[in-house]
């Protein structure tokens, strides 16, 4: 029975019903669908794991095997550029584009009352990696259009030169919206990136938050050992979170 169940799931994976990084139904749901015990389901899933087709994480469930995307923190780049570095094809889908009154915390960070908010979904070879929202002062975004942000890098589109960014990475649980957009269970582990981008003058130009599916992304930073480290790049701890400075 477990061999037949493994064969059926293997066929679904090969047919593309379950793609790389996709989370499978729970063991209970599979047991109901195939009228099998939980032990039978686990043995079937174990076969596919041994074949390298599936992976699992405690408290998360089973998903189609994938290689996590390395997101390097040593340079300031977009999610699409990070994806391209791995040899995969990036796709940017705009979910929202509109000018609106400033809201917290973007209004405090950028210090303006009117902002352009852009919400996007980021994919690598059809695998959903993250969803993000970026806020830009209306004065900087006046000439931007939906077509611009759908097809170009935001950093290249802004009418100013970017100097650096400050980025904070923290662990969060997937909300209902995160789960729907990323294709993960509610409560699944995610990585939250909060980034403030600065112009050459030192003024904040972009405030952005991105939520990454934890099983599809790994943040990587290269560490150098030396006698003196600039205070600008030293990690600081606050409220249980590790702050990382990237792109400086």
Q: Considering the entire predicted model, what is its pTM?
A: 0.82
Domain spanning 2-64: CATH 3.30.2010.10: no
How do residues 122-161 score in pLDDT, each as one tens digit? 999 989 999 999 999 999 999 999 999 999 899 999 999 9
Domain ranges of the chain: 2-64, 69-246
Rounded distance between C-alpha atoms, residue 145 and residue 153, angstroms: 13
Report which DSSP code applies to 23.
B
- Cis peptide preceding 248, ω within 30 of 0: no
CATH of 69-246, one of 3.40.50.300, 2.30.40.10, 3.40.1410.10, 1.10.287.3510: 3.40.1410.10
Q: CA of 244: how far to CAs of 63, 109, 195, 221, 234, in Å?
A: 30, 17, 10, 9, 8
**Burial per residue of 20-54, b for 16 or more beta-carbon CB atoms within 10 angstroms, e otherwise:** bbbbbeebeebbeebebeeebbbbbbebbeeeebb
- HSE-CB at 61 with a 13 A cutoff on CA atoms is 19
How do residues 52-97 score in pLDDT, each as one tens digit? 999 998 767 899 998 899 999 888 989 999 999 999 999 999 999 9
**Strand bridging mode 69-72 / 217-220:** parallel
């Amino acid at each position: 029975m477990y061999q037949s169940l493994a064969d059926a799931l293997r066929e679904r994976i090969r047919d593309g019903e379950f793609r790389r990084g996709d989370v499978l139904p729970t063991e209970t749901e599979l047991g109901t669908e195939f009228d099998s015990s939980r032990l039978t389901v686990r043995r079937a899933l174990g076969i596919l794991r041994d074949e390298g087709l599936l992976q699992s994480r405690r408290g998360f469930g089973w998903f189609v095997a994938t290689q996590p995307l390395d997101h390097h923190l040593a340079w300031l780049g977009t999610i699409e550029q990070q994806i391209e570095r791995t040899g995969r094809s990036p796709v940017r889908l705009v979910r929202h584009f509109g000018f609106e009154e400033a809201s917290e915390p973007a209004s405090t960070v950028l210090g303006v009352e009117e902002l352009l908010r852009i919400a996007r979904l980021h994919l690598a070879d059809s695998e959903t990696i993250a969803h993000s929202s970026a806020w830009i002062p209306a004065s900087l975004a006046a000439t931007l259009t939906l077509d611009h942000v759908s097809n170009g890098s935001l950093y290249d589109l802004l009418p100013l030169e970017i100097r650096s960014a400050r980025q904070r990475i923290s662990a969060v649980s997937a909300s209902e919206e995160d789960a729907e957009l990323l294709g993960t269970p509610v409560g699944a582990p995610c990585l939250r990136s909060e980034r403030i981008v600065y112009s050459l003058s030192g003024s904040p130009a972009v405030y952005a938050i991105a939520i990454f599916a934890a099983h599809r992304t790994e943040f990587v930073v290269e560490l150098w050992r030396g006698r003196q480290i600039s205070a600008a790049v030293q990690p600081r701890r606050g409220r249980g979170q590790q702050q990382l400075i990237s792109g400086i």
